[in-house]
């Protein structure tokens, strides 16, 4: 079978599966989406109660500016731990001599994207697909399961994320009670940080003011007294870096 015939057949299979998926889970009733790449978890939601958690495999992305497709196994900016599952599709392409399945990135159109997604679903299995749209980049996600709200991944997702009224969801960060955006008080950190940096599993963004640093040194470290003085509080990652640029001196 040549590639076009094969892709066409898989697209028609996808349409049937997708119709069921959309209907049974009321996918189009959700207005917002958010995904956590490290957990490969997609959350569709309207508010805190009306929501759906889905497990996914990232298939690839389509850049609307350059009109290029990129398979996620080829994408260094894709952080999903399961992205290399898509190498199975690549191997299938090698066996059948379908070059579109084996090249990492190339120019294409939206039909290509749906074909790749359909072929991935047939190769890897799944319950449907989701296209996460943003202004310049569309991410094609293969949905493999619906996650229970009490599942380990959803609990992890909700704990690891801080919800800030101004910035939305982000990673947690910690600062002493004295740091604010009124006047600069110094900014001591547990380690040197920069915006968007990756953190080790046991690392957190942590900062305190000059006064706290004096107390900490007098107490030979974070004694009970020093901790009481600092009263470290939780803030969002973006608030942290706003505090950093304002308080650094
Ligand atoms: Zn302080
Ligand atoms: Zn914030």
Average pLDDT (44-64) is: 94
Ligand nearest to the CA of 242: 2
Residue 49 — pLDDT band, cuts 50, 70, 90?
Answer: confident
Of 92-101, 155-164, 233-242, the one with minimum mean pLDDT is: 155-164
Question: Is residue 125 predicted with pLDDT exceeding 90?
Answer: yes
**How does the average pLDDT of the chain come out, rounded?**
93
How far is 88 from 100, CA to CA, in rounded Å? 14
Q: How much distance in Å is there from the Cα of 180 to the middle of ligand 2?
A: 12
Q: Does 150 share its domain with 167?
A: no
Q: Does 150 share its domain with 196?
A: no
Give the pLDDT score at 162: 84
DSSP 93-155: HHHHT-GGGTSSEEE--HHHHHHHHHHHHHHH--SEEEEEE-SSEEEEEEEEEEEPTTSHHHH
Q: Does 14 share its domain with 123?
A: yes
User: How do residues 165-185 score in pLDDT, each as one tens digit?
Assistant: 888 778 889 999 999 999 999
Name the strand (E) or helix (H) holding 228: helix 224-230
Q: Does 46 share its domain with 130?
A: yes
**Sign of CA pseudo-dihedral 160, 26, 28, 131:** positive
Which of 128, 155, 182 finishes a domain? 155
User: How do residues 204-220 score in pLDDT, each as one tens digit?
Assistant: 899 999 999 999 999 99
Q: How much distance in Å is there from the Cα of 141 to the middle of ligand 2?
A: 28
Ligand nearest to the CA of 175: 1
Q: Does 74 share its domain with 197?
A: no
What share of the chain has pLDDT > 90, as a percent?
A: 78
Q: How much distance in Å is there from the Cα of 226 to the middle of ligand 1?
A: 9
Q: How much distance in Å is there from the Cα of 171 to the middle of ligand 2?
A: 10
Beta bridge partners of 55: 41, 145
CB-based contact 185:208 (threshold 8 Å): no
Estimate the crossing angle of helix 110-124 against helix 3-24, to 10 degrees.
80
Question: Is residue 160 predicted with pLDDT exceeding 70?
Answer: no
**Residue 77 to residues 8, 58, 161, 203, 244: CA-CA distances in angstroms?**
30, 12, 20, 21, 26
Give the pLDDT score at 198: 79
User: How do residues 2-29 score in pLDDT, each as one tens digit?
Assistant: 999 999 999 999 999 999 999 999 999 9
Give the pLDDT score at 240: 96
Q: Does 193 share its domain with 217?
A: yes
Tokens of 91: 């191997």
Q: How much distance in Å is there from the Cα of 181 to the middle of ligand 2?
A: 12
CB-based contact 112:7 (threshold 8 Å): no
Q: How much distance in Å is there from the Cα of 164 to the middle of ligand 1?
A: 21
Q: Does 22 share its domain with 128?
A: yes
Q: Does 168 share its domain with 88?
A: no
Which of 155, 179, 211 finishes a domain? 155
Residue 11, domain extent: 3-155
Average pLDDT (88-98) is: 97
Which of 94, 123, 155 finishes a domain? 155
Of 9 and 156, more confident: 9
Q: How much distance in Å is there from the Cα of 211 to the middle of ligand 1?
A: 6
Q: Does 184 share its domain with 128?
A: no
Q: Does 128 share its domain with 166?
A: no
Q: How much distance in Å is there from the Cα of 111 to the middle of ligand 2?
A: 39
Q: Does 112 share its domain with 49?
A: yes
Count of domains in the chain? 2
Q: Does 103 share its domain with 219?
A: no
Give the pLDDT score at 159: 64
């Amino acid at each position: 079978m040549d590639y076009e015939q094969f892709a066409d057949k898989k697209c028609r299979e996808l349409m049937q599966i997708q119709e069921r998926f959309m209907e049974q889970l009321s996918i189009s009733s959700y207005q917002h989406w958010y995904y956590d790449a490290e957990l490969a978890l997609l959350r569709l939601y309207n508010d805190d109660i009306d929501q759906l958690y889905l497990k996914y495999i990232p298939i690839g992305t389509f850049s609307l500016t350059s009109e290029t497709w990129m398979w996620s196994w080829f994408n260094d900016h894709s952080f999903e731990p399961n992205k290399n599952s898509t190498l199975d599709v690549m191997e299938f392409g090698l066996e059948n001599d379908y070059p579109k399945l084996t090249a990492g990135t190339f120019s294409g159109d939206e039909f290509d994207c749906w074909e790749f997604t359909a072929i991935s679903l047939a190769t890897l299995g799944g319950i449907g697909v989701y296209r996460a749209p943003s202004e310049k980049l569309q991410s094609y996600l293969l949905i493999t399961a619906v996650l229970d709200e009490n599942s380990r991944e959803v609990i992890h997702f909700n704990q690891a994320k801080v919800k800030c009224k101004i910035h939305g969801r982000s990673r947690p960060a910690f600062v002493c009670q004295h740091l604010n955006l009124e006047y600069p008080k110094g900014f001591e950190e547990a380690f040197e940080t920069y915006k968007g940096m990756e953190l080790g599993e046991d690392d957190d963004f942590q900062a305190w003011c000059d006064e706290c640093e004096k107390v900490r040194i007098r107490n030979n470290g974070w004694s009970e007294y020093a901790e009481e003085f600092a009263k470290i509080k939780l803030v969002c990652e973006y608030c942290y870096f706003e505090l950093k640029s304002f308080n650094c001196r």
